[in-house]
Structure 1
Amino acid sequence: MHRVTDNLRRTWRRLQRRFLLRQLSRQRPETLRALSRRRLEQCFTRAATGSPAYGTLLREAGLNTHPMKAEAILRDAPLLDKGNTFGRFPLQALMIEGTPPQTLGGILTSSGHGGDRFAFGLTTHRQMATGPDAIDLGLQMAFGVDDHSTLLVNCLPMGVVFNSRTVCVANVSVREDMALAIIRQASPLFDQVILCTDPLFLKRLLDHAAEQGFDWSQVRLQAILGEETFSEDFRSYAGARLGIDPDTPEGPMIGSSMGVGELGLNLFFETRETIAARRALHRRQPLHPPPFFFCYNPLRTLVEIHAPDDNGNGELVVTVLDPQATIPLIRYRTGDTARWPRAEDFSDLPCPVAEALQHGPLPMIALQGRAKDRIGSGWRVDHFKSLLYRDPRVADCVSGAFRVDPQAQQWEVQVRSGLATPSPAEVADRLQALVHAEAVDRQRPPPRVRCYPHEDFPYGMGLDYERKFTYLPRA
């Protein structure tokens, strides 16, 4: 009897997902934008009347009347960030007043990557109960988990875990030996494996698997990468090691997902079409790291590009349209730079794909990366993430960790653990040649390259994969 009931529940959830995805695909973009703005008005009123901290910020901005129309909110409501919210107010003041602590089911912290200040996302038991449905909807849209038995191996750090009613989840965090053991032993039970991790830990897992002689071709594997941006050179490198061709439209996918600890997971995500667009732009301009083309659900998230420059690049500002949010954050700066996509971004794509991207129901942003990752003389951290993986033979020799010192004009790179040959000096020479070629072509002063043995690398020794790696010296 229990088995019959479970099967009925699974069938019902599968039908619900198909219905929701079908309905979403039929929506007109302007309809979704109108719904998004109505939800913004509701969330703003709730925050203004229920959060003591937000009420204080509104009064300081001279906004003493509410409700407000969406146009006025987007014009006049103060911009929030980690400093003027979590850095200024205690959690009790940020929360909706009167929230019983017994209703809270989970706390997700930000990485603290920007300094020693943390931000927090608080989730109620009620929200946690519906969380798996949102995760399963995204997994079905990207990987067809309703039609393929799936093992999801979650290697994200910092206690980020997934719950699902559709896939089998292994939450192993940053243990490459555990992750590989599970993939080796359990993958034959499933049609496919989804690996969820960050780029640096994926590099460690690939190196560990090579040391163990593991053959990735025996696994139908797909990957979701989060926590930080990566280059198309890295996607090509990882794909070659995993046996995945990123340019095969219907093949396994290595995709990116972006969340913000205090706002939520998977706020922005790649699709096969947006990956094709980014790779086409990379082929056209290999010396210019392309933006990530991310889709988002406008019924969940309202997005602004604040104060764009002449190229359309501005601050990414996000409002999560959750009417049950414990800490409502209206117009929150994520610290990223983005712009709206342009028609020329898709000029190298087949017409049907370009049309689908420009006129599909889900809006997109072109994410340029963290505003703090820009370096003088025309360099960005993304340039070095590209150069590190441009030659796969060189990439095999490094761990993925590096530090760029703009003052000393030096790029310091860690070689991978256990590397016998070539020597760190020889790896540095090969990287220096790549840097010099790009610097000459772009008329930039090239930094000097220095490679350290793994155990001598002075920045984040051992690579603490529980933390985001710091590629630039802190200001």
Structure 2
Amino acid sequence: MATQPPEKIIAGCEKKILKAFYRAAKNVPFYKKLLDEKRIRPETIISLKQFTQNVPVIDKETVFPVNSLTDICYEGFLDDVCLIYSSSGSSKVFSFGVETWENRENLAVGLEFLLDNAFRIFDKKTFLINCLPMGVKVFTRTIPVAETSVREDVIIALILKLKDEFDQFILVGESPFLKKVVEEGIKASVPWKDLCVNCITGGEYISETYRTYMSTLLGIEKGKPESGIFIVNMGLSELSLSIFSENVETINIRQAAIHNDQLRRSLAGKEERRVAPLIMQYFPQQTWLETLPDENGNPELIVSMLHPKSKIPLIRYNTGDQVKLMSYLEMEKILNKYGVGGLLPTLKLPFGIISGKKLSVIDKQNKEVSVTEIKEALYDKIDVAGKITGNFRLLTDNGKILLWVQLKSEVENCNGLREQISDSISKYTSGLIAVELYPYDRFPYGVEHNFERKNQYV
């Protein structure tokens, strides 16, 4: 993938998607029934054009609530399953992922490839702490793993006990919880800045200002991977724990886009956008990706699973994420145009330009304010980010946009904080927003966050 031409890497993927479609049409009870209802005969779909024109798009609501788990599985049984995991249910609908004993080794190999590419785990003595909620498993064959779930006290105890035993640590968790872990670790005298601590996060849109805040606390310095690396991974429980992933090179592209309006707009495809989207790569051999316009013309991600051993081989599955797809050659052309061609990643894989879920409110002047813009604003100033929990709500009242922000429990003096937040908001959106700060125990949308469910934000 580093030496072959990018067009050779994606060659054959069109044949793979048709094979994956035939496999699901023949062997998955739910899918056979769906195609029968749509009067689609799989044997008549013999080209990619026919596939995109005739094969139905499905989503979480059409698949999981109305079907048994066996009906959406390959061959309609669970006898070969080693693991079942669930989504958070924050959308009020649960989706499920299933892994087989046979595929368990492949999962470990795939994960270790990603970890070594990012963190050089085969060259450094590495300890991974999985602090993802709900028992999401991380399979490895070569490095030790602690499964702590969302227990910051356990994580802190492990780091303090093992800090002299490993060259580096990797924390895998969702962003609000990682913030709490690192901040609580500082109180417990964890020497974050003296250690090499890497982080992998995801589960929701991650702002670049959040990465900067966390890197500051951990002592991660740009251009010095030996100090740690903070990367974003995007996956879904029902598809794969990794569809898109960052690396140091894609992070550098995003950071360049922050300081170059023309580059940012070329990547995001939106003239007015002030927030730099996530820049990530994906393996075309693993997932066939498309986009379709939503009701506002924004591209939504459509995923088809290509692996011949997928137990739930979802085909043309709409994730609801706003994603712009871009080939390696297209990215190369854009970066060269703006004089930053040296940032092009080594692996010649295609890209996803990730804007996150469609979460926003609109005021009476029809100005839109998105969650992504608010996230960038709240972490824009290090001292402000240290005084808030990260939990907030965007809402409207008679056409006026309100932002309610939860303060941390120890914050008593917030003089000037509202003005600082408002100043940061003006950098990322033109919408007029009234900011209201709430003491920790008076936040209207719940006090204690157990980190098992995602924040709603809107």
Q: Which residue of 2 aligns with 1:415?
A: 407
Deviation at 1:44, TM superposition (A): 0.7
C-alpha distance in 1, partners of 2:124/2:442?
45
Helix, strand or coil for the counterpart of 2:84? strand
Which structure: greater strand fraction? 2
Q: Which residue of 2 aligns with 1:148?
A: 124
Q: Which residue of 1 aligns with 2:248?
A: 272
From 428, 436, 449, the equivalent of 2:418 is: 428
Counterpart mapping for 1:133-144 below 5 A? 133-144=109-120
Deviation at 1:426, TM superposition (A): 4.3
Deviation at 1:98, TM superposition (A): 4.6
Asked whether 1:399 is paired with 2:399, we answer no
Q: Which residue of 1 aligns with 2:219?
A: 243
C-alpha distance in 2, partners of 1:206/1:196?
12
Does the CA-based 8 Å contact 1:236-1:245 persist in structure 2? no
Q: Which residue of 1 aligns with 2:313?
A: 328
C-alpha distance in 2, partners of 1:366/1:199?
19
Counterpart mapping for 1:234-383 below 5 A? 234-246=210-222, 248=224, 252-285=228-261, 288-307=274-293, 313-341=298-326, 343-344=333-334, 348=338, 350-354=340-344, 356=345, 360-373=347-360, 375=362, 377-383=367-373
Deviation at 1:316, TM superposition (A): 0.5
C-alpha distance in 2, partners of 1:396/1:48?
52
C-alpha distance in 2, partners of 1:369/1:143?
25
Does the CA-based 8 Å contact 2:233-2:245 persist in structure 1? yes
Kindly provide the CA deviation profile for residues 289-327 of structure 1, in whole angstroms up to 9, marking residues without a partner as x. 11111111111111112238998x411111121212222
**In structure 2, do the counterparts of structure 1 residues 247 and 447 end up closer, same or farther at CA, with 3 Å as the change threshold?**
farther
Which structure: greater helix fraction? 1
Asked whether 1:108 is paired with 2:89, we answer no
C-alpha distance in 2, partners of 1:138/1:87?
33
Helix, strand or coil for the counterpart of 1:256? strand
Kindly provide the CA deviation profile for residues 384-433 of structure 1, in whole angstroms up to 9, marking residues without a partner as x. 1011111111111111111111345210011112223x23x643343234
Kindly provide the CA deviation profile for residues 245-280 of structure 1, in whole angstroms up to 9, marking residues without a partner as x. 245577631110011010010111001111001111
Helix, strand or coil for the counterpart of 2:369? coil
Q: Which residue of 2 aligns with 1:438?
A: 427
Deviation at 1:347, TM superposition (A): 5.0
Does the CA-based 8 Å contact 1:410-1:448 persist in structure 2? yes
Asked whether 1:462 is paired with 2:454, we answer no
Helix, strand or coil for the counterpart of 1:43? helix
Stretches of 4+ aligned residues off by more than 6 angstroms: 308-311
C-alpha distance in 1, partners of 2:384/2:124?
37
Deviation at 1:162, TM superposition (A): 0.9
Helix, strand or coil for the counterpart of 1:25? coil
**In structure 2, do the counterparts of structure 1 residues 426 and 132 end up closer, same or farther at CA, with 3 Å as the change threshold?**
same
Helix, strand or coil for the counterpart of 1:161? coil
Helix, strand or coil for the counterpart of 1:466? coil
Q: Which residue of 2 aligns with 1:128?
A: 104
Helix, strand or coil for the counterpart of 1:97? helix
Does the CA-based 8 Å contact 1:460-1:469 persist in structure 2? no
Amino acid in structure 2 at the alignment position of 1:465:
F
Show structure 1 runs of 5+ residues with no match. Answer: 1-23
From 185, 193, 196, the equivalent of 1:209 is: 185
**In structure 2, do the counterparts of structure 1 residues 200 and 326 end up closer, same or farther at CA, with 3 Å as the change threshold?**
same
C-alpha distance in 2, partners of 1:151/1:262?
27
C-alpha distance in 2, partners of 1:279/1:387?
16
TM-score normalised to structure 2 length: 0.89
**202-211 or 61-70, larger mean C-alpha shift:** 61-70
**In structure 2, do the counterparts of structure 1 residues 374 and 337 end up closer, same or farther at CA, with 3 Å as the change threshold?**
farther
From 147, 150, 163, the equivalent of 1:187 is: 163
**In structure 2, do the counterparts of structure 1 residues 179 and 448 end up closer, same or farther at CA, with 3 Å as the change threshold?**
same
Amino acid in structure 2 at the alignment position of 1:415:
L
C-alpha distance in 2, partners of 1:164/1:207?
28
C-alpha distance in 1, partners of 2:82/2:199?
28
Deviation at 1:349, TM superposition (A): 5.8
Asked whether 1:167 is paired with 2:143, we answer yes
**In structure 2, do the counterparts of structure 1 residues 453 and 330 end up closer, same or farther at CA, with 3 Å as the change threshold?**
same
Helix, strand or coil for the counterpart of 2:403? strand
C-alpha distance in 1, partners of 2:279/2:416?
36
CA RMSD in angstroms comes to 2.3
C-alpha distance in 2, partners of 1:65/1:129?
31
Helix, strand or coil for the counterpart of 1:465? coil
Does the CA-based 8 Å contact 2:131-2:151 persist in structure 1? yes
Helix, strand or coil for the counterpart of 1:83? helix
**In structure 2, do the counterparts of structure 1 residues 430 and 361 end up closer, same or farther at CA, with 3 Å as the change threshold?**
closer
Alignment: residue pair count: 437
Does the CA-based 8 Å contact 2:368-2:431 persist in structure 1? no
TM-score normalised to structure 1 length: 0.86
